[in-house]
C-alpha cells in the first residue's frame, strides 16, 4: 500500500463522515478548526480507519493529530511498520 493509497482512503473516510466532497479535504486542513470534526466524528473516523486498515490506533490519536496530513502520516507510518514486520 502506497502513501497515496493511505492518503486517499483517509480523505474518503473523512469526507464521508463529514458529508463533504473528497475534494474539500486538503492535506493541510485542520480537522477540528477547518473541517469541523467534533469529538464523536473523530471517534467514528478513527474507528473506520481501524476497520479499513485492520490496525489498532491509540485512543489519544483523536486529540493529538491536528491536520489531515498528520493523521495520514501517522497511519502510513503504522502501515510501513506493519509491512516491515511482516517481511522480516
Partner 1 sequence: MGKKRAVITGLGIVAPNGIGLEPFWEANTGGRSGIGTITRFDASDYDFRIAGEVREFNPSRYMPAATVKRTDAFVHYGVAAARMALDDSGLDLSVEDRASIGVILGSGLGGIAFHEEQMIAAYDKGVRRINPLSVPRVSPNAVAGHIAIQFGLWGPNVVISAACASGTLAVGEAFRKIQSGELEACLCGGVEAPLTRFTYGSYAALGVMSRRNDAPQEASRPFDKERDGFVMAEGGAMLVVEELGRAVRRSAHIYAEIAGYAAGSGAYHMVMPQPDGKDAARVMWGAIRDSGLRPEDIGYINAHGTSTSVNDLVETLAIKEVFGERAHRVPISSTKSMIGHTIGAAGAIEALVTAMVLDRGIIPPTINYRCKDPNCDLDYVPNESRCARVEAALSNSFGFGSCNACLVLTKERV
Do residues 42 and 62 make contact, with C-beta atoms less than 8 angstroms apart?
Answer: yes
Render 23-36 in DSSP notation, one character per residue. GG--TT-BTTTTT-
Phi and psi at residue 30, to the nearest 5°: -85, 130
Q: Which is nearer to partner 1, 4 or 24 (CB)?
A: 24
Q: How far is the CB of 82 from partner 1 (least distance, A)?
A: 17
User: How far is 14 from 44, CA to CA, in rounded Å?
Assistant: 9
Given the residues 21, 34, 38, 70, select the one marked as catalytic.
38
Position 12 contacts partner 1 (CB under 8 A): no
Q: How far is the CB of 19 from partner 1 (least distance, A)?
A: 4
Position 40 contacts partner 1 (CB under 8 A): yes
Residues that bind partner 1 (CB under 8 A): 16-17, 19, 40, 43-44, 47, 50-51, 56
Amino acid at each position: 500500500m502506497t502513501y497515496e493509497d493511505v492518503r486517499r482512503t483517509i480523505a474518503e473516510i473523512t469526507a464521508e463522515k463529514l458529508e463533504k466532497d473528497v475534494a474539500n479535504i486538503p492535506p493541510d486542513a485542520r480537522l477540528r478548526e477547518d473541517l469541523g470534526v467534533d469529538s464523536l466524528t473523530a471517534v467514528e473516523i478513527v474507528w473506520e480507519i481501524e476497520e479499513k486498515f485492520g490496525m489498532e490506533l491509540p485512543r489519544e490519536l483523536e486529540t493529538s493529530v491536528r491536520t489531515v496530513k498528520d493523521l495520514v502520516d501517522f497511519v502510513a507510518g503504522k502501515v510501513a511498520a506493519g509491512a516491515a514486520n511482516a517481511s522480516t
